[in-house]
């Protein structure tokens, strides 16, 4: 990997990318703070009147369907068109896409528009891959390992990098795959950290040449910061501020030294 997580973090901090985040009402503030603490510049610009124009000046766009509406979808499609016209990557977070017919339809429509990265929990990725999912609402209820084959297939069929998060994360482009260890069981007890990670994937994608390296970089940054914050937190409540501190404190050197990234090997058939 030429673009190590630390190399990408150094690039991100040298020239903080503007990341246009179309996210849900729950995540809005948390995700903006996460992106800022990591070193990039978030902007929650989502309305159809300006989303396309704004994407023309953003380094990347992220789309999260957590609090879905027709208005949101119109703004998202405008932003995606703007990113496409500007030659910039966009990232999809298919929140609870298994839950309703409307979510399944919108998620499938958005995958067809060609995100560079899809980031979701295992229940969401299983559903997108057309497999049975134990998920109900926004929280993942399947182990990541169960979603790995589906993630590989989804990546191959869609041409996207697929990042599945949970206790041990999995990233694949359909051929290359890695598992990333670290983080904390307190992370899923803090709402919208996955949504925030999707926005950070946008920040890394803005500075990376390869969306696979971008996804690995963002997930590794979360994993290293999560492990560090776990050692300081007293529980779910104090984890949040320690996590923001850790995202900021992780330097490019620390990131490359502490990231636990295991190659799963190439699947070419």
Partner that binds at residue 24, options ligand Cc1ncsc1CCO, Mg ion, ligand ATP, none, CB closer than 5 to 8 Å by kind: ligand Cc1ncsc1CCO
* Inter-residue contact 129 to 153 (CB < 8 Å): yes
- Which one among 33, 145, 191, 227 touches ligand Cc1ncsc1CCO, defined by CB under 6 A? 191
Q: Does 5 bind ligand ATP (CB under 6 A)?
A: no
Please tell me whether 147 is known to bind a ligand.
no
Please tell me whether 192 is known to bind a ligand.
yes
Q: Does 185 bind ligand ATP (CB under 6 A)?
A: yes
Please tell me whether 119 is known to bind a ligand.
yes
Q: Cβ 98 to ligand Cc1ncsc1CCO, closest distance in Å?
A: 13
Q: Does 138 bind ligand Cc1ncsc1CCO (CB under 6 A)?
A: yes
Q: What separation, in Å, do the N-terminal and C-terminal C-alpha atoms of the chain show?
A: 22
Distances (CA, A) of 11 to 78, 88, 167, 257: 28, 17, 28, 17
Partner that binds at residue 67, options Mg ion, ligand ATP, ligand Cc1ncsc1CCO, none, CB closer than 5 to 8 Å by kind: ligand Cc1ncsc1CCO
Give the number of other Cβ atoms within 10 Å of residue 158's Cβ.
18
Q: Does 140 bind ligand ATP (CB under 6 A)?
A: yes
Which span (74-82, 187-195, 233-241, 253-261) binds ligand ATP, by CB under 6 A? Answer: 187-195
Q: Cβ 213 to ligand Cc1ncsc1CCO, closest distance in Å?
A: 25
Q: Cβ 46 to ligand Cc1ncsc1CCO, closest distance in Å?
A: 14
- Which one among 67, 74, 227, 236 touches ligand Cc1ncsc1CCO, defined by CB under 6 A? 67
Partner that binds at residue 185, options ligand Cc1ncsc1CCO, Mg ion, ligand ATP, none, CB closer than 5 to 8 Å by kind: ligand ATP
Which span (71-79, 192-200, 203-211, 261-269) binds ligand ATP, by CB under 6 A? Answer: 192-200
Please tell me whether 88 is known to bind a ligand.
no
Q: How far is CA 18 from the centre of its chain?
A: 16
Residue numbering of the annotated binding site for substrate: 44, 192
The residues binding ligand ATP (CB under 6 A) are 95, 121, 138-140, 165-167, 169, 183-185, 187-188, 191-195, 197, 222-223, 226
Residue numbering of the annotated binding site: 44, 119, 165, 192
């Amino acid at each position: 990997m030429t673009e190590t997580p630390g190399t990408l973090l150094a690039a991100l901090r040298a020239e903080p990318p503007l990341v246009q985040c179309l996210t849900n009402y729950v995540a809005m503030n948390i995700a903006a703070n996460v992106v800022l603490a990591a070193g990039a510049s978030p902007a929650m610009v989502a309305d159809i009147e300006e989303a396309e124009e704004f994407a023309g000046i953003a380094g990347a766009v992220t789309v999260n369907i957590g609090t879905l509406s027709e208005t949101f979808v119109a703004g998202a499609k405008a932003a995606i068109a703007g990113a496409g016209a500007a030659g910039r990557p966009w990232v999809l977070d298919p929140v609870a896409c298994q839950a309703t017919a409307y979510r399944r339809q919108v998620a499938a429509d958005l995958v067809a528009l060609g995100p560079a990265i899809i980031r979701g929990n295992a229940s969401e990725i299983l559903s997108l891959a057309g497999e049975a999912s134990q998920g109900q609402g926004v929280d993942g209820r399947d182990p990541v390992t169960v979603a790995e084959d589906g993630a590989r297939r989804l990546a191959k069929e869609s041409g996207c990098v697929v990042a599945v998060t949970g206790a041990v994360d999995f990233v694949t482009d359909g051929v290359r795959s890695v598992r990333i260890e670290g983080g904390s069981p307190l992370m899923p007890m803090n709402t919208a950290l996955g949504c925030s990670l999707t926005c950070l994937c946008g920040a890394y994608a803005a500075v990376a040449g390869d969306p696979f390296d971008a996804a690995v970089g963002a997930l590794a940054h979360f994993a290293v910061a999560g492990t560090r914050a776990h050692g300081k937190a007293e529980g779910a409540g104090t984890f949040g501020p320690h996590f923001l501190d850790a995202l900021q404190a992780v330097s490019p050197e620390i990131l490359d030294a502490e990231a636990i990234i295991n190659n799963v090997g190439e699947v070419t058939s």
